[in-house]
Amino acid sequence: RGFADGSFNEAAFNNPQGVVYHPSGIVYVADTDNHSIRKIDLQANTVTTIAGNGTQGYDKEGGLLWVNQVISSPWDLCLGRSLDVSCEAHPNILFIAMAGLHQIWGIFLSSGLFFKKQRYPEGTVIALAGSGLEENRNTSYPLRAGFAQPSGIDIWNSPGGPILFIADSESSSIRQFSLIDGSVKKVAGGSVNPTDLFVFGDEDGDSHSAKFQHPLGVAVAEGNIFVADSYNHKVKLLRRTDKKNYQTETVIGDGCKIEQIFPDLFQLGEPGGICSSQNGNTIYIADTNNFCIKEYNIEQRTLKKIDLKFSCEANDFCDSKERIKVNLPPCNIRVNMMAKLNMPNGFHFTPEMDQKYSLNFEGEICSSNSEGSLGYETKIPIEVNLSHEQRAELKLTTKLFLCSEEGTCYMDKKLINIEFVAKEGEYPSEIDLDIEIKASF
């Protein structure tokens, strides 16, 4: 625990709550108790701070760039686009559920237009909705709206334009924030009195009768909203019935707190996070007090635990410290290494992520490329110059980013040690060396 940027081994966080993956190979983190937003670069293996400086801020307007802007207890994150960015382009706004200030903020990862066609420069960190008063107030004017510890956010790109859905935990309500006109409206739950934060319960029904208790997460799938109704120990589904109304139904949990009391998979214990898969078919649930992640298939209405395997640390190697021994003639010779990827069935490369290799040498080995990109078959030529019985070692490190058909993605990092030994004998003019790289999780 701490507050430090640097390599994966050097970086430190303090009670991080929300994360979101950007297709450029970046993971953004709401580092809650450091009052900052952090950037994890999966290619460079580094962590940097992009907003906040580790101290709690009380500014309810913002507008400064990057780390010059102090913030307060960010809780959740999601990505969206400014009005001048096409749907095909990468998201350029990082939305923040700023629980400590009872507001919704944004970071412009690149410059863009927002409300009233106002342009914000790259790096702007600014309040987008919420007055900062702890309320449950809905209004057409975003900065006059009131939230009460917003804790979960997700975006639906509706036919009428993008909508940010908000799990407003202290008002026990689900809210929506139009990213086109700025209006903030009730979806379900909460009181009709904007200053009354004590209307909560556990009821299914329409937008007026449904009740929640301290919801912490929302996930949108095909326009429907899944809610982690934390203190009710449930996941609820809000189906859109018309432009103004939603019907709420419980899909997971019956209110029992801990699964171990009644060992039923569908029992939840204060679920604290929820998200949907890229294809919208699956919901993932952080079942907090049962210490597990669960996977819910929306169409089949089935639930299962995900078997998490933490077999390696960020800078260690999963499964493979493989060693290969190769005999060579006692002279200068070219070795044509061919790295062949053995991909598990049902997996593909993560889009827009580079598959990489790097080489480290000990002894008389040289190569024109000490690092490069990996494909299914990659030729890596090297030169080795050894005397009789002399040895040299090459360390081949590979880092792969793969996704399953269900949309779950993994990083697989391996180390292969290749020892070259000079021995007398008959050899071809060049040595061909095939190396199989077995991706595994």
Query: Which residue, among 201, 78, 92, 234, has the nearest Cα to 150 in the 3D structure?
Result: 78
Q: Is it the case that residue 356 has pLDDT exceeding 70?
A: yes
What pLDDT shows up at residue 128?
98
Do 107 and 130 meet the contact criterion of CB atoms below 8 Å apart?
Answer: no
Which amino acid is located at 305 in the chain? K
Domain with CATH 2.60.40 in the chain: 322-438
User: pTM for this one?
Assistant: 0.79
What pLDDT shows up at residue 368?
67
What pLDDT shows up at residue 352?
75
What pLDDT shows up at residue 261?
47
Strand partners, 151: none
Query: Which residue, among 285, 281, 275, has the nearest Cα to 297 in the 3D structure?
Result: 281
Give the least confident one: 37-51, 149-163, 202-216, 300-314.
300-314
Q: Please say whether the structural domain 6-306 has been given the CATH code 2.120.10.30.
A: yes
| pLDDT tier at 214, thresholds 50, 70, 90 | very high
What pLDDT shows up at residue 441?
62
Q: Encode pLDDT of 257-296 as tens digits.
A: 555 544 566 789 999 999 999 889 999 999 999 889 999 9
CA distance 306 to 287: 11
Do 51 and 8 meet the contact criterion of CB atoms below 8 Å apart?
Answer: no
Strands, sheet with 234-240, edge to edge from the N-terminal-most edge strand: 217-221, 224-229, 234-240, 246-252
Q: Encode pLDDT of 304-352 as tens digits.
A: 998 775 544 444 444 456 889 999 999 999 999 999 999 888 888 887 7
Q: Encode pLDDT of 1-23 as tens digits.
A: 899 999 998 999 999 999 999 99
Averaged pLDDT score across all residues of the chain: 91
What pLDDT shows up at residue 256?
65
> At a CB cut-off of 8 Å and minimum separation 6, what does 18 contact?
29, 30, 74, 75, 76, 77, 97, 152, 273
Structure tokens at 247: 């019907």
Alpha-carbon Rg for the chain in angstroms: 26
> At a CB cut-off of 8 Å and minimum separation 6, what does 210 contact?
188, 189, 203, 204, 236, 238, 246, 248
Q: Please say whether the structural domain 322-438 has been given the CATH code 2.60.40.
A: yes
Q: Is it the case that residue 233 has pLDDT exceeding 90?
A: yes
The arithmetic mean of pLDDT across residues 139-146, rounded, is 97
Q: Encode pLDDT of 163-208 as tens digits.
A: 999 999 999 999 999 999 999 999 999 999 999 999 999 999 999 9
Domain with CATH 2.120.10.30 in the chain: 6-306
Do 384 and 333 meet the contact criterion of CB atoms below 8 Å apart?
Answer: yes
Residue 190, CA distances (Å) to 170, 186, 229, 263 in order = 9, 8, 13, 32
What pLDDT shows up at residue 315?
44
